[in-house]
Amino acid sequence: MKQELIFLGPPACGKGTQTNKLSEYLGFPHIDTGSLLRAEIAKATPDGIVAKSFIDKGQLVPPELVGKIIGNRLAEEDCAKGYVLDGYPRSLAQAEMLEEINKNVDKEPASFKAIYFDIDTELLIERIINRQSCPKCGEIYNKKFKPSKVENICDKCQVELKTRADDNEEIARARFETYYRETAPLIEFYEKKGVLFKLDANGSIEEVWDRMIKIINQ
């Protein structure tokens, strides 16, 4: 049976690490809105050109356009057996749009799961203010939880790691407030449908992975 997997969780909860790994484990494509938009813009597709016009003005890409791009991606052949969708939906309107997309693209019965990364906010603050990334390959490190072998140097590229200017406590707390305000309705939406699974995202990468696989195999 086709597996449709979406993931909800606040910034720095570990979704990206786990969903990338899960994509390889299941052999399903890993799909995230940001990467899709960047790809459309890089290829200068008609949708990409429109999306770029909004981004260049500092505006959000309209949800209808994002939904269209997501729908086109989920209709591709490599999603026929399942997909790992990270960072979408982010609102009730997008959740309803995703239901319509799935109805249109599903050629066989499908199992849908919304997996919510439930984690302590204070731990996330620690993750964010200690986060580093490689400007060349994009690998994510954390000075406290996942340090590079050589301090401030990428293990893969041997270039100096960078810290985002917005990775500070004040901005992080504001982002969490926004996230929880916008996501609470989504959690309730999927709970009522009986497809929400809460994942304890506290602990090591390996511990969270083991818990997630148990949910996937239910």
- Residues with catalytic function: 15, 90, 131, 164, 175
- Class of residue 21 by CB neighbours under 10 A (exposed 0-12, middle 13-18, buried 19+): middle
Output the six-digit token pair for 159.
Answer: 């270039």
Pairing verdict, β 2-8 and 110-118: parallel
Kindly state the DSSP code that residue 65 receives in the 8-state scheme: H
Nearest to 6 by CA among 190, 147, 141: 190
Asked if 23 contacts 30 with a C-beta cutoff of 8 angstroms, the reply is yes
